[in-house]
Structure 1
Amino acid sequence: MSKGLKLTFRRRLRHRQSIGFSLLTLADPCDSFSAPRLRRNCSPPPNSPPATETSSRQLFTVMDSLDDSSNADEQAQSLLGRTAPRRRNFCPHMLTQPRHRIWGSIAALLIAVPVVAALYLTFFGITGTLTSELPCNTHDCVITAGRILQNMNFSVDPCEDFYEFSCGGWIQEHPIPDDKSQVGTFDTLVEKNLRILKDAFESPYAPDSTLPPEEETFNRQNFDKVQHLYLSCINETQIEGEGKEPIVATLKKVVKDFPLGIDNKLDAHKTILAIAAAHDVNAAALFGMSVGQDDKDPDHNVIMFAQSGLSLPSKEYYDNAQYIKTLTDAIAKSFSFILPDVTPDNTVDWESLAKGVVNVESELAKISLPSSELTDPSKLYNAYTIPTLKAKSPFIPWDSYLLARFPPSHFSDVINDSTRLIVTVPTFFGNLSSTLSNISPQDMQNYILWHYIYNYADHTAKSLKDLLNELKEKTGQKAKLEPPRWRTCLGRTDAFLGEVAGRWFVTRVFGGDSKKAASSTVEYIRQAFVQRLPRIDWLDKITRERAIEKANSLIKKIGYANIVMQPKALAEKYRDAAVYPDKYFENILSVTKWHIHENLKDIIKPVDRARWEMTPATVNAYYNPTMNEIVFPAGILQPPFYSIKDPQYLNYGAIGMVVGHELTHAFDNMGRQYDSHGRLVDWWTNATQREFSKRAGCFIEQYSQYTVLDPDGKPQPIDGTLTLGENLADNGGATRALEAWRMDLEAPGGAQRNPMLPGFDGFSKEQIFYISFAQVWCGNTRPELALRRLRTDPHSPNKYRVIGALVNSVEFAQVYSCPVGSAMNPEKKCLIW
């Protein structure tokens, strides 16, 4: 980021992950925030910004949300990055050393490593294209070379394990700290970007002399709004002083306004009004609803319903007694701490109440589909009307729900019996009535109260947050220790007001020719893909021509939305998102409601094609199929992914792979179902579809053989079906990036843009390109988070994003002279794009 209503997909992007539909494998698709990920059918994590679009479509990102920290919400994801814009030191331990000692250490490294590297390359029989050109000796080249070399492990044969060869040094030197669930290249940049925002919003407002007086006034208002949210969040004295009172007051109102009955029969009308109220504040209960682009008519918006309502990351967790006990304990502790102040009753058996809530969720889990069955947009697009949805799920008064969410005073012209509704999982809603008929009023009310607590506990005092620690740690949503408060608060601030804060990020890091240079990289990769299409023999003529048309129609957005630099327009857009100093809980409720209401208002608006689903500081990227656009926020267009000062073979290996990944998403198993205008339509011939499916099966089989260790140390296989789209994007992205770099190299000035790095004697530039690609994915992940992603994230684990793509690459095997039959050059290879 990714990351709306806690429903299943967080604003369209949040649903699918970025960089590709998500290049990154930040977290599972149901992860907190990170770049807007479109969360498909899963329960959104607590504390995330309102999920706005729960369509059958998802945004394809490079990775899912970066959930390195303790709470899903701080991923608010903008997938922000690491530290302030200071000189990059490739040796962290040198930060306190005098400058001459730093340079002495770098020089020693650059002398020693090439000798070791050359010996290993010779030993393993690997040869590069030797060059007589003098290496680049600028400050930036030396620092970059040192960083790359230090990350490597020269004791490993690159033809046996290229990930360990490229990342072994980094992995060894970066154990996971107690306040994180993962560390990696993306996380490092996220923290850097967050620190840039920290510097901005912990400082007094600085007038902008480049703005006209009126714009300057609005700019100050925007700054104050962001700063008030951030400072109210870091004011822990105020938050601790309020204790549990903010959430107690909220729950009292829920109980008063929506009594669900005292007998054994659930009142459907009262229940659905209580659910509607919960959805208005992002508490995911029963199901999800939001407004988003109509997949088959992308010029218009439509109401979408999706399965939701679970606290655990996915339905599979409800089959494990250990997780059920942990969830039950968390609910019982939370109830015993809060509910006596809400509905005083000293005779309550809290564990019994908790078991009732878990039973509700367990029943919902039974009728939910697993993530692997939510990857086909055609199957997720099911058109209904209010009458036909009533017939499908008769217990719920759907007209009452929609009237509660879309009041007639604003929506009388669009909400009626002929209004089209998209239901992503009809079987879930078909079974919902029978499920609800067996639930008591008390269990339903407690279930709803629990979702308020689960969603808002992290915005209250430590005494309440601590009650959920074990649950979040065991499900990979939280690290052992709390991260620094500033990091948590800036993650949340960027999640809710990142578009407003974007100006103060962009002006600090994204100036000069950055946008122009990045645009050139994107264009070369698009050209490489178009040139590849005529050479694909399984595509017939008709489908090939349509694919070329789609690639040529691709829209690219780079850096930030225009509105980010328009203070008056921003102030008007966010005018009703009220934020006050020292009222943190109220602020979170306010901006949450604002985001949700803004999404609902889209039903009476035309599709906004200028909208971005990620904030400027987000470290991610995405492809949006209904817009046929690829989007790269300024946050990811930073070192080590991209730098104008770096040789282009490094940039193409890193950001070029990201671009290629996102572009390939337009033609993967999901993206290929949308045409050049963003319509979900069958534009492939039957013969070509059969050929695609046959080749896709090769990838499913390949990735299903890879495993990761769960918290018990047992190997668990990757779901090759769930990860198919992202795996295709990884494979296509790496190859297109190499082809595009070679095109760039042949263009005027290509040699000057590709100086040889110092310290890489014996390596060719192509070999360093692949090292740059692999080092994007250097990282360590806790088993709890790894398991959660395995079940919910469409991205493969980092190691296999490298290994899986390169074992299929003929070019890689040639560049590293890997013998046929070696681990990195198997005889059987999978290829589509």
Structure 2
Amino acid sequence: MSILIKYWWLFICVCILVCARISATPAKLNRVKNIPDKLTELEIDTMRAAKTASIITFMNTDTNPCDDFYKFACGKWNRVNPATTVDHLTTGLFEELLQLLDRKVEKLLTNDTEFKYNAIDKKVKDFFVSCVNLVKLKDNYKQKLVDLIAEFGEMPALTGNTWNADDFDWVETIARIARRYGKDIILGMDVMADFKDNSVNRVYIGQADLPLESRAMYLEDSTAIYRESYKKKIRKELVKFLDMDMALATKTANEIVDFEISLARGLIDDALGLSLDELSKFTTIELMEAKYGAVVNITKLVNITLGEVVREPVYEYAQVYQENLKRAIPDTPKEVLANYIFYTLISDFLIDLDKTTQRQKKTCIEKTKSYFAKNVDNMVYRRYSSRKTERDVEYMWKKLKETFKTTLLSDKLNWIAEPTRQYALEKLQALRLDINSYTEHNFTEEFGELVTNDHDYMANVLALLHMNTKREFNKLHEPPKPIEAGEILSYTPANILIENVIKVPVSILQPYLLWGDNYPTAVKFGTLGALVGHELIHAFDDSGRRFDKDGNSRDWWDVDSTEIFLNRTECFSDQYSKYYYGGRLLPKTVSQSENIADNGGMRLAYRAYMRWFEDALRANDDISMEQLPNFPYNNKQLFFISFAQIWCNDVHPEVKNLQTSTDQHVPGEFRVIGPLSNYEKFAEEFKCALGTPMNPEHKCEIY
């Protein structure tokens, strides 16, 4: 149940939606073994030489850095890590981090003899083993799926002429499913903190998440190929898991997708950049019933789902979606509605069981992480954490905050009125950074009542969903708790605007891709520093500036500063909409949150690094480690090369339209070219003449 999550924090990982939806596997990756904490001088030299070799491997130094810095820094990436097959649809740094993490997770979920498992860890292990053991039970799996459907009714495509449309109440059916297992179908419902007063929880009712993510994926001609693939996937699953004949499966799949397309006509267009204030209306169940009751019995939906009569005000989210429902539902035959609801109910359980053992393990690792994200992160942290790395991150965070404070006080931002700047300083002071280790989390309280086994995967999932759903609806009578985003917070830094906190996952701190004790500080600030800086800037971008220091939605910017801010935002909109990708221009969008954060985060990280470097020079500290062995670029140039290589990636040609239709981040090459071409310090270091592609006369800048 998550109709509002994406508006409360902003993601950093490029292709995040593409990777999650397609489950792409990284291509050839450098294998990194566990390395002891204490190294000899020879081992340190060897590691630093290896880092030099790794950086140079991906560079194409035949390219002039002033013409195209992405090709200069990442020009050979796709030769080493090509995205050319179904298994390798996207490759990049985050895929590498994910694969390294998964190797650790697999060891922990099987039997790591060096790890001390507690009672809750063992439940997580049982869940994983039950998933792996699905292969042994595949002959009985259809019956389990049919039994799940039977909890809530009958699926017309299975029962045929005996199905009685008069007995089917679609609102009651989706409400009972949501009440039991927390699955939103057609219409979403959440209990979350009031975004205007995060001291209380409210009910939010509105737009549900759809599998293809966005309006563009359902409605644009350029994405038709993905809709056809989606239909084929559903058809294949209906035949394989429910024994439908091909003709009936084809008809049913087509009807399911066509109905979903009709729902998608009401989806919010992310390109419009609408705020939570603009998308959410404070109202009552009675008023919503008056608007939609002829088609959607809102009172029945809420009462059954929550198990009580709600008399407090609620938020209606994305009114345009509900207005569209008033047209889509009457135009849809009841049997199509029923088939859609029951297919959606079982869709999470349709796991391909004809895989090799290793491929089945990979699927089951993903499933375990999705249901037990916090537990898995905590296990990884307990097994592999380095306090030294954490101290480094804390030091970097301190430098980033100090540097941004200096920026806010500088004449460079004198276009922001003094009262607004003073409140920005208060918000910055209150902004926190947490590493998602969950060391203080009470897992026994959360999972103590959960019963798992190592042989019945579906029973495990249903028990977990039922437990989580009860906890979700109990929140209506409890004070708000920190937002839980499951697996998303496990592999990407995030700024949770409603809490004014930045979360850093344990996966991002794995040595030795971004991080290494003996790497130059330029590398650390150019990589993790830029990522965390990106999230810091989100607190002050076109979305974050609408939230105050306590995480409540409030406009604290004065009118004149806002006007200048919006004008500067338009500069980014114009700049990025002129980039070509996959044979077409990037879509022009109102919201520029990610581009503002990319630009501001890189600049902030560079300024913070230079503060560190200049302090070290003044203190006569040894800075010899800032120069990598046999690396023909200085430490400042190394910062920019390291930053660029965060976004080295390759994307299968058939995925490019999917990427630009579902991801609010621009493709990796423009996350390099855009920010660096806007930054005069970059041009100075690489001696790019004014007017060259990487040093245009007109530049975009906010922070």
Q: In 2, Cα distance between the equivalents of 1:241 and 1:531? A: 65
Q: In 2, Cα distance between the equivalents of 1:700 and 1:818? A: 24
**8 A Cα contact 1:723 1:795, kept in partner:** no
Question: Out of 399, 404, 412, which is 1:529 matched to?
Answer: 404
What's 1:222 paired with?
120
The 3 A distance-change label for structure 1 pair 674 and 809 is same
The 3 A distance-change label for structure 1 pair 263 and 370 is farther
What's 1:428 paired with?
321
Q: What is the deviation of 1:269?
A: 8.4
**Are positions 1:442 and 2:312 aligned together?**
no
What's 1:175 paired with?
82
**8 A Cα contact 1:85 1:196, kept in partner:** no
What's 2:24 paired with?
68
The 3 A distance-change label for structure 1 pair 68 and 264 is closer
**Are positions 1:247 and 2:145 aligned together?**
yes
The amino acid across from 1:600 in the alignment is: F
**8 A Cα contact 1:205 1:223, kept in partner:** no
Q: What is the deviation of 1:522?
A: 0.7
What's 1:695 paired with?
568
**8 A Cα contact 1:332 1:353, kept in partner:** yes
The 3 A distance-change label for structure 1 pair 26 and 330 is closer
Q: What is the deviation of 1:706?
A: 1.4
Q: In 2, Cα distance between the equivalents of 1:175 and 1:622? A: 28
Query: SS at 1:738's partner residue?
Result: helix
Q: In 2, Cα distance between the equivalents of 1:363 and 1:616? A: 28
Question: Out of 177, 192, 202, which is 1:292 matched to?
Answer: 192
What's 1:734 paired with?
602
What's 2:39 paired with?
none
What's 1:476 paired with?
none
Q: In 1, Cα distance between the equivalents of 2:329 and 2:52? A: 61
Counterparts of residues 649-660 of structure 1 (less than 5 Å): 649-660=522-533
Q: In 1, Cα distance between the equivalents of 2:119 and 2:494? A: 31
Query: SS at 2:75's partner residue?
Result: helix
Q: What is the deviation of 1:365?
A: 2.0
Q: In 1, Cα distance between the equivalents of 2:440 and 2:247? A: 53
**Are positions 1:277 and 2:176 aligned together?**
yes
The 3 A distance-change label for structure 1 pair 328 and 735 is closer
Q: What is the deviation of 1:324?
A: 4.8
What's 2:384 paired with?
509
The 3 A distance-change label for structure 1 pair 532 and 269 is farther
What's 1:770 paired with?
640
The 3 A distance-change label for structure 1 pair 617 and 431 is closer
Q: What is the deviation of 1:678?
A: 0.9
What's 1:189 paired with?
97
The amino acid across from 2:555 in the alignment is: D
Query: SS at 1:299's partner residue?
Result: strand
Q: What is the deviation of 1:16?
A: 5.8
**Are positions 1:486 and 2:347 aligned together?**
no
The amino acid across from 1:145 in the alignment is: T
What's 2:259 paired with?
360
TM-score, with structure 2 as normaliser: 0.89
Q: What is the deviation of 1:708?
A: 1.7
Q: In 2, Cα distance between the equivalents of 1:810 and 1:646? A: 26
Question: Out of 294, 299, 302, which is 1:402 matched to?
Answer: 302
Query: SS at 1:235's partner residue?
Result: helix
**Are positions 1:716 and 2:588 aligned together?**
no
Query: SS at 2:204's partner residue?
Result: strand
**Are positions 1:540 and 2:412 aligned together?**
no
Query: SS at 1:645's partner residue?
Result: coil
Query: SS at 1:369's partner residue?
Result: coil
Q: In 1, Cα distance between the equivalents of 2:225 and 2:86? A: 23
What's 2:452 paired with?
579
What's 1:520 paired with?
395
What's 1:642 paired with?
515
What's 1:631 paired with?
503
Q: In 2, Cα distance between the equivalents of 1:136 and 1:202? A: 31
Q: In 2, Cα distance between the equivalents of 1:347 and 1:766? A: 61
Query: SS at 2:695's partner residue?
Result: coil
The 3 A distance-change label for structure 1 pair 607 and 205 is farther
Q: Once structures 1 and 2 are overlaid, which stretch shifts more, 800-809 or 372-381?
A: 372-381
Q: In 2, Cα distance between the equivalents of 1:17 and 1:185? A: 25
**8 A Cα contact 1:185 1:777, kept in partner:** yes
TM-score, with structure 1 as normaliser: 0.76
**Are positions 1:461 and 2:353 aligned together?**
yes
Q: In 1, Cα distance between the equivalents of 2:358 and 2:567? A: 46
Q: What is the deviation of 1:152?
A: 1.1
Aligned CA-pair RMSD? 3.3
The 3 A distance-change label for structure 1 pair 407 and 753 is farther
The 3 A distance-change label for structure 1 pair 521 and 753 is farther
Question: Out of 667, 672, 675, which is 1:797 matched to?
Answer: 667
What's 1:411 paired with?
none
Q: Once structures 1 and 2 are overlaid, which stretch shifts more, 552-561 or 481-490?
A: 481-490
**8 A Cα contact 1:630 1:663, kept in partner:** yes
Q: In 1, Cα distance between the equivalents of 2:593 and 2:357? A: 34
Q: In 1, Cα distance between the equivalents of 2:151 and 2:200? A: 36
**Are positions 1:306 and 2:206 aligned together?**
yes
Q: What is the deviation of 1:734?
A: 0.3
Q: What is the deviation of 1:596?
A: 3.5
**Are positions 1:198 and 2:70 aligned together?**
no
Q: In 2, Cα distance between the equivalents of 1:772 and 1:299? A: 41
Query: SS at 1:618's partner residue?
Result: helix
Q: What is the deviation of 1:136?
A: 11
Cα deviation digits, residues 58-80 of structure 1 (max 9, x gap): xxxxxxxx94249xxxxxxxxxx
What's 2:57 paired with?
150
The amino acid across from 1:794 in the alignment is: Q
Cα deviation digits, residues 249-279 of structure 1 (max 9, x gap): 2223332599999999977982112112343
The 3 A distance-change label for structure 1 pair 406 and 497 is same
The amino acid across from 1:86 in the alignment is: N
Q: In 2, Cα distance between the equivalents of 1:754 and 1:193? A: 32
Q: What is the deviation of 1:723?
A: 5.8
**8 A Cα contact 1:301 1:603, kept in partner:** yes
Q: In 1, Cα distance between the equivalents of 2:162 and 2:325? A: 21
Question: Out of 5, 11, 35, which is 1:22 matched to?
Answer: 11
Q: In 1, Cα distance between the equivalents of 2:173 and 2:57? A: 56
Question: Out of 59, 68, 73, which is 1:166 matched to?
Answer: 73
**8 A Cα contact 1:266 1:437, kept in partner:** no
**8 A Cα contact 1:141 1:758, kept in partner:** yes
**8 A Cα contact 2:24 2:86, kept in partner:** no
Q: What is the deviation of 1:332?
A: 4.3
The 3 A distance-change label for structure 1 pair 558 and 356 is closer
Q: In 2, Cα distance between the equivalents of 1:307 and 1:820? A: 48
Q: In 1, Cα distance between the equivalents of 2:639 and 2:115? A: 43
Q: What is the deviation of 1:191?
A: 0.9
**8 A Cα contact 1:723 1:793, kept in partner:** no
Cα deviation digits, residues 621-653 of structure 1 (max 9, x gap): 110111111111221123322233211111000
Q: What is the deviation of 1:338?
A: 5.1
The 3 A distance-change label for structure 1 pair 335 and 507 is closer
Q: What is the deviation of 1:416?
A: 2.1
The 3 A distance-change label for structure 1 pair 756 and 519 is closer
Q: In 2, Cα distance between the equivalents of 1:171 and 1:137? A: 29
**Structure 2 residues not aligned, in runs of 5+:** 37-41
The 3 A distance-change label for structure 1 pair 730 and 495 is same
Q: In 2, Cα distance between the equivalents of 1:722 and 1:425? A: 18
Structure richer in helix, relative to its length: 2
Cα deviation digits, residues 379-431 of structure 1 (max 9, x gap): 122112101111221222222212222123xxxxxx523x2222221121123
**8 A Cα contact 2:127 2:368, kept in partner:** yes
Q: What is the deviation of 1:190?
A: 1.0
Q: In 2, Cα distance between the equivalents of 1:197 and 1:603? A: 34
